[in-house]
Structure 1
Amino acid sequence: AKIVDEIQVMRKTVVDGSNVSGFQRTALVGYDGKLETSKGIIRIPTICLEEEAAQKITETKEHTKYRLDRLGIPLIEIATDVDIKDNEHAKEVAEKLGMILRSTGKVKRGIGTIRQDVNVSIKGRERVEIKGFQELRSMSKVIEKEVKRQSSLKKKEQSHVRKVESDGSTTYLRPMSGAARMYPETDVMPIKPDIKHIKIPKLISDKIKHISKKYKISEDMARLLLKHNVDLDYYVKRYPNLKPLLITEMFVTTPKEIRKRHNVELDIWKHGDEVLEKLNQGVISKDAVVDILVDLAKGKKIDYSKFKTVDDKKLEAEVKNIVESKKGLGFGAYMGILMGKYKGKVDGKKLSELLKKYVK
């Protein structure tokens, strides 16, 4: 988008109590932008900086209760033009805008931090603005329901604002506001933006592709690394004997697996380095990782001698000995015997490869 030469802060009248001053500050900072999507270019007519309103907690006929802890927090409002084709396209656009915002590293994360107001208009009907989208998963369903609602109306209704309910339906909120509620902010001087030293950050989508290609891991895994703020470059340099995928799994999937299978909350940032160091030194095998992390999460002291890896030559000799001394067993039976003896000390994949040499 193009950046304005001068930022003029405006006041937008707010009378419902959510802004204690009676107005909300808004400033146009960018205009005439565009966003590339799978269904064509989406025009971005305006980008505004505005302040957050107070959050409504309860409402009765007599009073409305607000909490003021988020009042005044800076918001970026990005407006799209009438180029979005359908409900799924709207979701795609919202996802891409959210990704771009998160790429800056300057926005908050979590439910409610990125919100969407969706304007729905169908042929022969007035525009309706829907507020309250906090999760993208519901967007397509809500838009579809709103289109059906408008299509079923016998009488033409005035343009207005509706809010999203938990079941995906919408209810009337208020009339559509006009431009007359805006007037210049008298207490803030115009601002001339200086963007010479601003560096454009790399998009998360580009980072995902780069990490996936560089370390030969899936894009889903790369996305999870970024979501969990794991610097894979750092860990690969620190633990050169470990495969990038193993390090990735340690941080993004192992804690979830431990929570699900063992009902234990693991602080991987507290215990991860200790286990990675032992893996890198060859002191333990990757099959011992989960058991060790579970014990660490429970506050237990680890006796690493119990998990000490077995020398390859010694292991192969043992495999050969068991196959020769217990002739006639199936592959699975031999694996069961060996894993019972070497569980947590030997990588199961390595053991399987050795066994294949002696069991045809």
Structure 2
Amino acid sequence: MDHDRDYDYADLGLVAGLEIHQQLDTATKLFCDCPTARREPDTSDRRFARYLHPTRSELGEIDEAALEESRVDREFEYLAFDTTCLVEEDDEPPHRLDEEALETTLEIAALLDMEVVDSVQVMRKIVVDGSNTSGFQRSSLVATDGAIETSEGPVGVTDMLLEEESAQRVSETEAGVRYGLDRLGIPLVEIGTAPDIRSPAQAREAAERIGMLLRSTGKVKRGLGTIRQDVNVSVAEGARIELKGVQSLDDIDDIVRLEVHRQVRLLELRDELRERDAAVGDPQDVTGTFADTDSGVIAGASTVMAVPLYGFDGVVGAEIQPDRRLGTELSDHAKRHGAGGIFHTDELPAYGVTAAEVDALRDAVDAGGSDAVAIVAADREVAEAAIEAVAERAGTALEGVPEETRDANEDGTSRYLRPLPGAARMYPETDVPPVEPDPAGVETPELLTEKVERYQSEYGLDAGLAEQVAYGRRMPAFETAVGRGIDPTTAATTLESTVTEIRRRDAPVENLTDEHLLDTLDLVEADDLAKEGIGEVLTVLAEQPDLSAEAAVDEAGLSGVDEAEVREAVAEVVERNADQVDAEGMGAFSALMGECMGALRGKADGEVVSDVLREEIQQRL
């Protein structure tokens, strides 16, 4: 399959928009006083379980996405911690909206040139996949009508919501799904753009721009899972598809490109099926056809259900994304109802199914050579529900591209998740009073792009190092360091290059606090530690974080040496390499300098060692 086609996206009518979800770095959660620090699942001290069911909206409607979720009977188990409160367990009403989270949201709104609403009203959004103990997510509209600039034109920002983060899925259980409550309730902003994006590259650029503005506040969480991008994509004859959970900005352009290709392929297959007068038959029980089968999957099931797909021969196996076929789409729908997947005649005989069994299957459902048949083998209830889902999805193949929510895979492809949600999932939260925001006193921060320029002009950093520091997680520590009078280049190199080097040596750098780093830099500034010893001291602090920087210097054996000791060590190196010095003169300097620094193990400043070495070499000339 040529999934690398050179598409004319304007000709295809590509329309895309982004929904960016970013956790805020607040002290407490959005509706309670619990901390926002993440916990390891094995530190949980108790568990409880829930079953969730959808409720009707104010107008008496049930959201289609929530209804489909509820058709899968699952138990949701929650891991609680010593910090878990009754609000998180949904055993106590939520508290008032967190003021710190709202202030940060107003700051982001200013950066996005958005209009702040007069009243922030908390709403309930029905979610019954277990990710919220209450069966809904609390969400508030804070601002509208903003914009950002890209090289391909402006992109509108339609709305920004402040909402609570969902619980983290930890694992699957025999009865359902297990979640951790440490993430539930962390404040989160959801930023939605207008459908102004017209190419995969513009989608990535827009996401990068918004991400830069968010990080410029210095008040958002960093690290894997703290920011997620959903991408809405459609082409002219296709349908709006919501692609959930894009973790990396680097993946967005591939996600859009491959979704465009999927929709184009589905439209091509639709046209082919219509030319064939294709149709979907009624599901049938074909258990008897496989009574003596050697297929382990089928033999282990009590029921085999089949659906004839008239005119679908060769189409079910047609690739629509890399390593994904129309049959994979059908299988995704079957899996939603508990089945392990499907078999279909475009891939059979295989998996223990013989050619004779394929012929018997075709006869059983009255399918000819131009037709295909899909089967599901499972317990009766699961098999019947799954084959109905397969038949329904096969029917939509005759129409083209079905609207749906899909889960983004790591390779840029996607899989079916659920139908698109509708307005019926929202209704007011009566336990939390509205808030009237005041954007008048909000001060916008220096943008990261502006910091890069300032670090170059004010501190003399080169462009690459300036960008590393400005966009890095240790940027606040750098600002503090230079504010203390520490040399900017030394501070920047330590925070970026040195920390990276000791991480590569498997030192647990996650244990290093800003205090560790700043105290170590203070020792360098006070001439109590040579710059060359910074890495060894930080390695000690990473492995023994309870030590002070001064103690780490002693532990590393880097207590300062006087000039006499330096001269003695250098003289020994020069004497040991006398032949080289006699032959090369000052040309031997570079090689001997490395040897001298190794002999002193970072105990002496490099400039001092350099001066002494030059003197010692010159004395021999």
- Give the TM-score normalised by structure 1: 0.81
Partner of 1:301 in structure 2?
A: 555
- Counterparts of 1:4-43 in structure 2, within 5 Å, are 4-43=117-156
Contact 1:115–1:133 under 8 Å retained in 2: yes
Equivalent runs, 1:203-352 vs 2, <5 Å: 203-226=447-470, 227-236=473-482, 238-239=484-485, 243-260=487-504, 263-265=506-508, 267=512, 269=514, 272=517, 276-277=521-522, 279-282=524-527, 285-290=530-535, 300-301=554-555, 307-308=561-562, 326-329=581-584, 331-337=586-592, 339-341=594-596, 344=602, 345=604, 347=606, 351=610
SS at match of 1:214: helix
> Structure 1 residue 139: deviation in Å?
1.9
The answer (yes or no) to whether the contact 1:11–1:182 under 8 Å persists in 2 is yes
Q: How does 1:96-135 map to 2 (within 5 A)?
A: 96-135=209-248
Please give the secondary structure, in 2, of the residue aligned with 1:143.
helix
In structure 1, list runs of 5 or more residues that go unmatched.
none
Q: How many percent of aligned residue pairs carry the same amino acid?
A: 38
Is 1:170 the counterpart of 2:414 in the alignment?
yes
Name the CA distance, whole Å, in 2 between partners of 1:183 and 1:168. Answer: 34
- Deviation string for 1:260-295 (max 9, x for gaps)? 35x544647565456545543556654454456556
Q: Which residue of 1 aligns with 2:426?
A: 182
Q: Retained in 1: the 8 A contact 2:119–2:437?
A: yes
User: Which moves more between the two structures, 22-31 or 153-162?
Assistant: 22-31
Gap change, CA 1:237 and 1:128, over 3 Å in 2: closer
8 Å Cα contact 1:32/1:46 also seen in 2? yes
Structure-1 separation of matches of 2:426 and 2:181: 23
Which residue pairs with 1:49 in the alignment?
Answer: 162
Partner amino acid, structure 1, of 2:136: F
Distance change (3 Å), C-alpha of 1:271 and 1:325: same
Matched to 1:197, the amino acid is G
| Amino acid of the structure 2 residue aligned with 1:301 | E
CA distance in 2 between partners of 1:72 and 1:270 (Å)? 29
Q: Is this contact kept in 2: 1:50–1:76, CA < 8 A?
A: yes
**Residue identity opposite 1:10 in structure 2:** M
Note closer, same or farther for the CA distance 1:276–1:191 as it changes in structure 2 (3 Å cut).
closer
- Is this contact kept in 1: 2:157–2:194, CA < 8 A? yes
Bigger Rg over Cα: 2
The answer to whether the 8 A contact 1:288-1:307 is kept is no
Give the drift of 1:213. Answer: 1.8
Partners of 1:297 and 1:65 lie apart in 2 by 33
Contact conserved, 1:284 with 1:308, CA < 8 A, in 2?
Answer: no
Q: Distance in 2 between matches of 1:124 and 1:334?
A: 71
CA distance in 1, matches of 2:596, 2:171: 62
Structure 1 contact 18–66 (Cα < 8 Å) conserved:
yes
Measure, in 2, the Cα distance between the counterparts of 1:95 and 1:164. Answer: 18
Structure 1 counterpart of 2:407, which letter? K
Work out whether 1:161 is the aligned partner of 2:386: no
Report the CA distance between 1:40 and its aligned residue: 1.4
1:78 aligns to what SS in structure 2? strand
Higher relative contact order structure (alpha carbons within 8 Å, sequence separation ≥ 6): 2
Q: How many residues align?
A: 357
* Contact residue 478 and residue 495 of structure 2 kept, 8 A: no
Change (3 A) 1:336 1:325: closer
Greater shift, 71-80 or 53-62, is seen at 53-62
Aligned-residue Cα RMSD (Å) equals 4.0
Deviation (angstroms), 1:309: 5.1
- Superposition TM-score, scaled by structure 2 size: 0.50
Deviations, residues 111-135 of structure 1 (Å, cap 9, x unaligned)? 1111111001112101111001122
The alpha carbon displacement at 1:253 in A equals 1.1
The residue type equivalent to 2:260 in the other structure is V
Tell me how far 1:159 sits from its aligned partner: 0.9
| Equivalences for residues 48-87 of structure 1 within 5 A | 48-59=161-172, 62-87=175-200
Distance 1:339 1:8 in 2: 65
The answer on whether the counterparts of 1:255 and 1:268 sit within 8 Å (CA) in structure 2 is no
Indicate how the Cα distance of structure 1 residues 201 and 335 shifts in structure 2: closer, same or farther if over 3 A, else same.
closer
For residue 142 of structure 2, give the secondary structure of its aligned residue in structure 1. strand
3-state SS of 2:440 partner: coil
| Rounded Cα–Cα distance in structure 2 between residues aligned with 1:268 and 1:190 | 38
Q: Which residue of the partner structure matches residue 151 of structure 1?
A: 264
Shift of 1:302: 5.4
Distance 2:173 2:518 in 1: 53
Q: Which residue of 1 aligns with 2:436?
A: 192
Q: 1:73 to 1:304 in 2, by over 3 A?
A: closer
**Residues 353/223 of structure 1: CA separation in 2 closer, same or farther (3 Å cut):** farther
* Whole-angstrom distance in 2 between the partners of 1:269 and 1:189: 38
| Distance of 2:542 and 2:135 partners within structure 1 | 51
Which range is displaced more, 339-348 or 11-20? 339-348
